[in-house]
Amino acid sequence: MSTPAGMGPSGWRGARRLAGVRRAFAPVAEARGLTRSMLWLGCAITLVFVAIALFAPVVAPYDFDTFEADGSRFAQLEAPSWDHPMGTNVQSTDVLSRIIWGTRTELKVVLVSLLFSISIGVPLGLLSGYFGGKLDRLLVLFMDALFVFPFLLLAIVIAFLLADRVGQGILTAAIAITAVYIPLYFRVVRNHTISIREEPFVEAARALGARPFTIIRKYVFFNVVQNVPPLATLNAADAILTLAALGFLGYGIQPTQGAEWGYDVNRAVSDAASGIWWTGLFPGLAIVLLVVGLTLVGEGLSETMNPVLRKRPTGTVDFSSDSGSEAAGS
């Protein structure tokens, strides 16, 4: 194939890389039916939350710890009303505002920890899977041991220990969550790298004398990276649950640093005895909704990209286009 006129080498490579990425995610466009609805619904929900997080200062009626306005203090534990559509909690802060600001907290922490998990887990998995050897065996043993351990407990322990050293807060929670999910990426990426490494086309590249890093960059990476989006979204969903759990147990962020949904639910437990439902219901629903949104995207993505589950879309069969000459019976 000749290079189209006017495209220099860098332009060509750039276009090819883009085409490679587009090809890697092509199955998503082919999704039909239920899977497609899931993807769209999930994306919509997630985007709404992202928007809320981004525009929190504009959208929220009050700050997350405002307990008075116009000189008068808000009522305590006031039921939902026009002034406070989701009511107020025991500290006279507006529940709705806390939900909105809480979105920011959740997404911030989860995003940061996700980025760290991926940037540590994926390269480690690639290198470990491709080069094998002693380092690989050691890493695998280590990661498996971590993986087997209950996520939440690990996060709690790490958060607890870091709290003494670093002090509680967003950083601690983020680090705890990062550490817990690294083995996940490592494992998936490593397994996939190993199976790609054995493919004939990689063997051919090696036979041609390509250097290992070139092979990894050109062949292995794009194949393996396909795993990341479904994994990352499902991971994000799980991370939100873990963060909320940490907040519920008191190992999340400090109340002075921002609002956090899990923490709010914890505060609401004592309200329940008096039949006060709005302080717990709304933060809880927020958690559920965001996690559902992320999970829908994640499930939709993994369904479309998993070749076993992918359903080949079928068109209608058209018998009319006959060429006319059917063999007559003998």
Partner 1 sequence: MTAAPVVSVRGLRVYYGTLRGTVRAVDGVSLDIGAGEVLGLVGESGCGKSTLGRGILGLLPDGAASKGDVIYGGRNLVGMSEKDLRRLRGPDLGLIFQEPMTRLDPLMRIEDQFQETLEQHEPGLSAREVRKRSLETLGRMGIPPTRFRQYPHEFSGGMRQRIMIALALVLRPKLLIADEPTTSLDVIVEAQILRILADLRRNFDTALLLITHNLGIVAEACDRVAVMYAGKIVEEGLAGDVFAEPAHPYTRELLRSTISLDTKELHSIPGAPPNLITPPPGCRFHPRCPDAMAVCPTKEPVEQHLAHERRVFCWLRGPEQAIPAGGTSPLEREEIAVAEEA
Partner 2 sequence: MAAQGTSLRQYALTRLALVIPMVFILLTLVFLLMRVAPGDPISAALGGRVPKEEVEKLKAELGYDRPVYVQYADYLASVVRLDFGEAITDRRPIGDIIKENGAATLELTFYAMVVALVVGVTFGLLAGRYRDTWIDGGGRLFGIVVYAMPVFFLGLMAQLLFGSYLGWLPTSDRASPITQATIETHTNIYTIDTLINRDWGAFVDSVEHLVLPAATLGLVTAGVFIRLIRVNVIRTMKDDYIEAARARGVDERAVVYHHAFKNALVPVITVVGLTVALLLSGAVLTETTFNWPGIGRTLILYLQNRDYTAVQGIIVVFALVVVAASVIIDFVNAYIDPRIRY
Closest CA to 182 of 128, 143, 131: 143
Which residues partner with 73 through β-bridges?
68
Minimum CB distance to partner 1, residue 329 (Å):
5
Q: Is 209 in the site for partner 1 (CB under 8 A)?
A: no
- Which CB, 152 or 194, lies closer to partner 2? 152
Q: Which two tokens stand for residue 263?
A: 């923490």
Closest CA to 181 of 140, 234, 137, 224: 234
Q: Is 169 in the site for partner 2 (CB under 8 A)?
A: no
Minimum CB distance to partner 1, residue 322 (Å):
8
Q: How far apart are CA 56 and CA 182, in angstroms?
A: 30
Give which of partner 1, partner 2, none residue 179 binds (C-beta under 5 to 8 Å, depending on kind).
none
Q: How far apart are CA 157 and CA 258, in angstroms?
A: 22
Q: Is 317 in the site for partner 1 (CB under 8 A)?
A: yes
Choices 14-22, 107-115, 181-189, 319-327; region in contact with partner 1 by CB under 8 A: 319-327
- Which CB, 130 or 248, lies closer to partner 2? 248
Strand ranges (E), the chain: 68-69, 72-73
Q: How far is CA 76 from CA 80, 89, 101, 263, in A?
A: 12, 6, 20, 18
How many Cα atoms are found within 13 Å in the side-chain-facing hemisphere of 46? 21
- Which CB, 15 or 272, lies closer to partner 2? 272
Give which of partner 1, partner 2, none residue 96 binds (C-beta under 5 to 8 Å, depending on kind).
none
Choices 78-86, 93-101, 106-114, 248-256; region in contact with partner 2 by CB under 8 A: 248-256
Give which of partner 1, partner 2, none residue 315 binds (C-beta under 5 to 8 Å, depending on kind).
partner 1
**Interface with partner 1 (CB under 8 A):** 30, 312-319, 321, 323-330
